[in-house]
């Protein structure tokens, strides 16, 4: 997804250069959010199709609340809130930031309407832009640090905006198109098969000066056993083969929780797939399309990825095997197609410590019962991906753009 490029900030930039850089970066990210909702009607923007998904209007307001709560209020004593009731409506999960509306009922918030949320965005944007120009020298480092978190946070919600509206549109019998021209990009032509990883001790975790979330640190050593990793993502053609071999009917292929879910949820194919006219179709951002055998399989959950690997006589890689392979340039389709499930539980790295205060709730408190995904997807905003990036979801989740690649052990 294209996004206006902001020139990188050079080492040793002056405060006025930094102000200009952050003003441009802030403007670009905020504009991208609005670009992504430009084709949505007011009605599209209030629907919540399931508790995990949020309305587009809520996303637009919540990312704004984040700047208001964590950046504007602490730095501008003269700030007048747009509406005192909004923090309750648009706080997501920050307990230290106060009480909040129940997540599954976000779709019931028909007021404020879309225009009021647009005005709320403008009100907070003006306050942020004022602070970017006026923040005192001795407070600038901390101010820009939190501003940067807010931008990456908004980019995460830009991806959710698309996955959540796709889920909503997939519930609509008319299967509307978000963007009639949308297509999954073609993957680079690459040799298939498996690449061997150099066994031994490797560094993993974020390195360098660029941005990362706290869950990508501390950088540390990990031992990689002899392993080969698939150069390419698993395709729809391979998934169709799995299905025609009785994928969803053979309990021996599934983890116990996965098999229970197959039966209670009635899964017979990946998420958003429909059988029509004797052919499999998939709901995409351009509406329902015939399943493309060459495209990577998408909208599968951890249980499905694990079952496929078992069926194939292979494994899912660990997140560290994935990272070592991606750093070595062995995975030409690592980014920009589908997030890839790993078999790593989402856990803190050795010595990880969440920040004090409400922003410490960003990642750390979710480090149980979820699995790590690596790479990025077609819905990830440009420039948001990183080789050390750790996405995480609960095993049954499959409304994101999620797929897999395999690993093999000698
Ligand atoms: Fe959020």
pLDDT score, position 209: 85
Ligand 1 centroid – CA 290 distance (Å)? 33
Identify the pLDDT of residue 390: 98
**Mean pLDDT lowest among 6-10, 345-349, 373-377:** 6-10
Cβ neighbour number for residue 19 with a 10 Å cutoff = 19
CA of 260 to the centre of ligand 1 (A): 31
Q: How far is the CA of 91 from the centre of ligand 1 (A)?
A: 8
Instruction: Give residue 174 CA to ligand 1 midpoint distance, Å.
Output: 30
Q: Kindly indicate the confidence band of residue 7, based on its pLDDT and cuts at 50, 70 and 90.
A: low
Burial 116-126 (b: 16+ CB within 10 A, else e): ebbebbebbbe
> Which whole number is the average pLDDT over 279-287?
98
- pLDDT-derived band at 5 (thresholds 50, 70, 90) equals low
Per-residue pLDDT tens over the stretch 304-332? 999 999 999 999 999 999 999 999 999 99
Q: What is the pLDDT of residue 10?
A: 82
What's the confidence (pLDDT) of residue 4?
Answer: 46
336 closest CA partner among 245, 401, 284: 401
Q: How far is CA 214 from CA 45, 203, 362, in A?
A: 31, 17, 9
How far apart, in whole angstroms, are the C-alpha atoms of residue 409 and residue 321? 12
27 CB-contact burial (10 Å; exposed 0-12 / middle 13-18 / buried 19+):
middle
* Ligand 1 centre distance from Cα of residue 133 (Å): 26
Above pLDDT 70, what percent of the chain?
98
Mean pLDDT of the 274-290 span = 97
Integer angstrom CA distances of residue 288 from 268, 274, 313, 336: 18, 9, 32, 21
pLDDT above 90 (res 393): yes
pLDDT band with cut points at 50, 70 and 90 for residue 191: confident
What pLDDT, on a 0 to 100 scale, did the predictor assign at position 1?
A: 44
Pick from 207, 186, 160, 173: nearest CA to 381: 160
Separation of CA 73 and ligand 1 centre (Å): 18
**Prior bond to 247 cis, omega within 30?**
no
Arithmetic mean of pLDDT, 47-76: 98
d(CA 200, CA 299): 34
CA distance 297 to 165: 20
Instruction: Give the pLDDT of residue 72.
Output: 98
CA separation for the pair 245, 16 (Å, rounded): 63
Which residues, in sequence order, are CB contacts of 207 under 8 Å at separation 6+?
Answer: 219, 388
Q: Exposed/middle/buried for 237, CB within 10 Å: 0-12, 13-18, 19+?
A: middle
What's the length of the chain?
A: 410
Ligand 1 centroid – CA 157 distance (Å): 7
Q: What is the rounded average pLDDT for all residues in the chain?
A: 95
- For residue 95, with 0-12 CB atoms within 10 Å meaning exposed, 13-18 middle and 19 or more buried, which class applies? exposed
Helix ranges (H only) for 38-139 are 56-67, 73-75, 86-90, 114-134
Q: What is the pLDDT of residue 396?
A: 98
Q: Any idea what DSSP says for residue 142?
A: H
Ligand 1: distance of its center to the CA of 78 in Å?
Answer: 25
- Residues with Cβ within 8 Å of 196's Cβ and at least 6 positions away in sequence, in order, are 226, 227, 228
- With a cut of 90, say whether residue 38 has pLDDT above it: yes
* Among 253, 264, 326, 300, residue whose Cα is nearest residue 398: 300
Q: In whole angstroms, give the CA distance from residue 162 to residue 108.
A: 20
144 has pLDDT over 60: yes
* Dist. CA 173 → ligand 1 center (Å): 30
Least confident range from 28-32, 218-222, 357-361: namely 357-361
pLDDT for the residue numbered 9: 83
CA of 125 to the centre of ligand 1 (A): 17
Rounded-to-integer distance, Cα 22 and Cα 18, Å: 6
- The DSSP secondary-structure symbol of 247 reads G
Q: How far is the CA of 254 from the centre of ligand 1 (A)?
A: 33
Query: What pLDDT score was predicted for residue 357?
Result: 84
What pLDDT was estimated at residue 2? 43
Ligand 1 centroid–CA 55 distance in Å is 13
Reply yes or no on whether the pLDDT at 407 is more than 50.
yes
Q: What is the pLDDT of residues 252-273, one digit of tens each?
A: 999 999 999 999 999 999 999 9
Phi–psi pair at 369, nearest 5 degrees: 70, 10
- Ligand 1 midpoint to CA 181 (Å): 29
pLDDT at residue 6, rounded to an integer: 63
Query: How far is it, in rounded angstroms, from Cα 289 to Cα 325?
Result: 33
């Amino acid at each position: 997804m294209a996004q206006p490029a902001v020139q990188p900030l050079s080492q040793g930039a002056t405060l006025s250069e930094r102000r200009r850089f952050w003003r441009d970066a802030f403007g670009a990210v905020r504009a991208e959010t609005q670009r992504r909702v430009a084709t949505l009607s007011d009605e599209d923007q209030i629907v919540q199709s399931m508790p995990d998904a949020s309305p587009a209007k809520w996303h637009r307001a919540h990312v704004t609340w984040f700047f208001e709560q964590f950046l504007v209020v602490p730095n501008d004593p003269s700030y007048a809130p747009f509406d005192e009731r909004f923090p309750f409506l648009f706080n997501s999960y920050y307990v230290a930031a106060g009480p909040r509306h129940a997540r599954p009922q976000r779709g019931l918030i028909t007021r404020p309407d879309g225009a009021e949320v647009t005005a709320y965005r403008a009100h907070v944007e003006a306050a942020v832009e004022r602070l970017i120009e006026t923040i005192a020298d001795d407070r600038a480092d901390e101010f820009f640090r939190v501003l940067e978190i807010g931008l990456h946070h908004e980019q995460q919600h830009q991806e959710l905006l698309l996955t959540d509206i796709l889920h909503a549109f997939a519930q609509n019998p008319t299967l509307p198109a978000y963007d009639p021209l949308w297509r999954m990009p073609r993957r680079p032509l690459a040799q298939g098969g498996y690449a061997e990883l150099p066994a031994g001790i490797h560094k993993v975790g974020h390195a360098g000066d660029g941005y990362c979330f706290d869950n990508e640190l501390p950088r540390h050593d990990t031992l990689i056993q002899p392993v080969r990793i698939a150069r390419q993502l698993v395709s729809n053609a391979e998934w169709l083969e799995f299905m025609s071999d009785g994928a969803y009917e053979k309990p021996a292929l599934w983890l116990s929780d996965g098999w229970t879910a197959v039966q209670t949820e009635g899964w017979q194919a990946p998420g958003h797939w429909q059988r029509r006219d004797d052919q499999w179709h998939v709901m995409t951002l351009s509406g329902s399309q015939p399943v493309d055998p060459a495209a990577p399989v998408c909208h599968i959950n951890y249980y499905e990825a694990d079952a496929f690997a078992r069926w194939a006589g292979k494994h899912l890689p660990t997140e560290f095997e994935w990272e070592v392979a991606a750093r070595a340039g062995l995975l030409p389709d690592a980014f920009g197609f589908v997030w890839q499930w790993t078999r790593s539980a989402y856990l803190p790295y050795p010595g990880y410590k969440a920040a004090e205060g409400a922003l410490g709730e960003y990642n750390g408190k979710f480090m149980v019962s979820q699995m790590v995904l690596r790479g990025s997807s077609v819905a990830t905003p440009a420039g948001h991906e990183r080789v050390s990036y750790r996405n995480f979801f609960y095993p049954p989740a499959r409304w994101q753009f999620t797929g897999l690649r395999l690993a093999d052990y000698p």
